[in-house]
């Protein structure tokens, strides 16, 4: 039984999908005017963890993640670059998929692009106009009237009346051509600053607002009501609040049952800022020599509802923890003692599996689940050291670790030894047999320079990628 903290109700709830055995899930994806920063990837790793847990529990998951390829930023920066919107956003979209692969994030089933779903947005805006929840402003843009949607503020737990009163006291409505400064744009009428970015539609010449994009694309692929919506806490208000208002205002039914939000990522205790020099995307960290799976480990290991303080010391620690897992898998691969796994080891496996599942089902408590994994590694290593783990027992341990990894996504693919490295290892073995240890040490260093370590054991030479 999976329990999730629901931002809508501010409490943990037993997860019950709308349709038994199936989960429809939406995640806010990147705005492709640049490469996502590591704070963005915390949200994508958190969504990946949730999806993996759902699949681990036997659910079929239909996952949709949008690509915002038209908004103020994409238009502004494409014009600065002297490129069309498509040409400008294409490399950032391609780079995003490269990053997902590097971080071992499972791909969503659908990645809808905003520019390919204008018709769906226009249809939804027409419904809101027909339902009396939207209006055309003096600037010919179309706005959502929050005072006419009675539940506005329910996700962020805000008082709508105070919102309206506060806004009217600070900003002139006439300045924006709308009835209330808090009203948000559904459709932005074309202006010369938009250049060639516009669509001729039944509701006028222009482009969509940001919020309507997610409402239109999520409901197209997942239905007017669906199970889970994920994103960072920074999106709760106004973006997700506005999604609810638009979707429920258009269709007259509950939009999403469970809202799952991850907390902020800080860098050395501070919010990321280019002026502070602590703004990193994935490429910055890869260029510094960090393994992408170590970055995944760091983003994963802190509970998603706790702030994560990113530090390079923390990244080093994540790399070391990850190496412990990899080294353990290598050790298991080398166990060849005959016999059957004893009862105590079978009990250890059963206990670890039970505890791991209990923790991930408790609002994705990954910190405690990882503690179970490392405790299992420690106890199993003791058996290997004592020569008490059989080959069948090692195979059982490998199977359990693979099961855990279906949730964690931390194991690397089986390495293939390059031919030139294999030749160096063979040459080193020959030198050792001839007791030419000086040459053997030189060859070990050459092998290390190529990214591999060799270890001598009674059972022969073992190697691993650094």
Q: 252 Cβ partners below 8 Å, 6+ apart?
A: 131
Domain count for the chain, please give it. Answer: 3
One domain for residues 257 and 338: no
CA angle 48/328/358 to nearest 5° reads 45
Query: Bigger pLDDT: 126 or 172?
Result: 126
CA angle 331/332/337 to nearest 5° reads 105
One domain for residues 350 and 426: no
One domain for residues 231 and 322: no
Instruction: Find the CATH number of the domain harbouring 324.
Output: 1.10.730.10
Structure pTM?
Answer: 0.89
pLDDT tens track for 159-190 = 877 777 655 443 444 455 788 989 999 999 99
β-partners of residue 200 are 205
One domain for residues 397 and 424: no
pLDDT tens track for 345-378 = 999 999 999 999 999 999 999 999 999 999 999 9
Domain that holds residue 131: 18-262
Residues 249-261: what's their mean pLDDT?
99
Query: Bigger pLDDT: 451 or 348?
Result: 348
One domain for residues 344 and 430: no
Residues 55-78: what's their mean pLDDT?
98
One domain for residues 217 and 356: no
One domain for residues 25 and 133: yes
What pLDDT, on the 0 to 100 scale, is given for residue 172?
Answer: 41
Alpha helices (runs of H) in 83-117, residue ranges in sequence order: 85-102
pLDDT tens track for 431-449 = 778 878 788 788 888 888 8
In the listed set 262, 290, 320, which residue is the last one of a domain according to the structure?
262
CA angle 201/203/204 to nearest 5° reads 65
Instruction: Find the CATH number of the domain harbouring 93.
Output: 3.40.50.620
């Amino acid at each position: 039984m999976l329990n999730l903290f629901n931002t809508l109700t501010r409490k943990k709830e037993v997860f019950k999908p709308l349709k038994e055995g199936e989960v429809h899930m939406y995640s806010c994806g990147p705005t492709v005017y640049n490469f996502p920063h590591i704070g963005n990837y915390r949200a994508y790793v958190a969504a990946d963890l949730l999806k993996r847990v759902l699949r681990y529990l036997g659910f079929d998951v239909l996952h949709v993640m949008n690509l915002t390829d038209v908004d103020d930023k994409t238009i502004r920066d494409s014009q600065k670059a002297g490129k069309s919107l498509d040409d400008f956003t294409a490399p950032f979209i391609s780079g995003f998929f490269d990053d997902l692969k590097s971080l071992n994030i499972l791909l969503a089933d659908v990645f809808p692009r905003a520019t390919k779903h204008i018709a769906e947005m226009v249809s939804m805006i027409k419904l809101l106009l027909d339902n009396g929840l939207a209006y055309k402003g003096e600037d010919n843009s179309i706005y959502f009237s929050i005072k006419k949607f009675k539940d506005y503020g329910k996700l962020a737990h805000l008082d709508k009346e105070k919102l309206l009163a506060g806004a009217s006291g600070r900003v002139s409505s006439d300045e924006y051509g709308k009835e209330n400064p808090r009203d948000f744009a559904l459709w932005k009428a074309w202006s010369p600053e938009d250049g060639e970015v516009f669509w001729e539609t039944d509701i006028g010449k222009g482009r969509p607002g940001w919020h309507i994009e997610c409402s239109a694309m999520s409901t197209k692929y997942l239905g007017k009501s669906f199970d889970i919506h994920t994103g960072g806490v920074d999106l709760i208000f106004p973006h997700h609040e506005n999604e609810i208002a638009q979707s429920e205002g258009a269709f007259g039914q509950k939009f999403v049952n469970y809202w799952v939000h991850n907390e902020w990522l800080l860098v050395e205790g501070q919010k990321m800022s280019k002026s502070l020099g602590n703004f990193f995307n994935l490429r910055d960290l890869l260029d510094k020599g960090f393994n992408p799976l170590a970055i995944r480990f760091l983003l994963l290991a802190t509970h998603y509802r706790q702030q994560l303080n990113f530090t390079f010391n923390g990244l080093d620690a994540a790399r070391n923890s990850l190496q412990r897992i990899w080294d353990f898998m290598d050790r298991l691969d080398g166990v060849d003692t005959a016999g059957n796994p004893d009862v105590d080891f079978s009990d250890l496996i059963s206990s670890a599996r039970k505890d791991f599942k209990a923790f991930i089902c408790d609002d994705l408590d990954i910190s405690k689940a990882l503690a179970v994994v490392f405790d299992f590694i420690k106890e199993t290593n003791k058996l290997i050291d004592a020569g008490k783990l059989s080959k069948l027992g090692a195979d059982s341990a490998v199977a359990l670790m693979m099961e855990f990894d279906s949730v964690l996504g931390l194991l690397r693919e089986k390495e293939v030894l390059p031919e030139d490295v294999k030749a160096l290892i063979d040459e080193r073995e020959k030198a050792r047999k001839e007791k030419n240890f000086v040459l053997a040490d030189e060859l070990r260093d050459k092998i290390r320079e190529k990214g591999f370590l060799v270890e001598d054991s009674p059972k022969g030479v073992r190697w691993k990628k650094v």
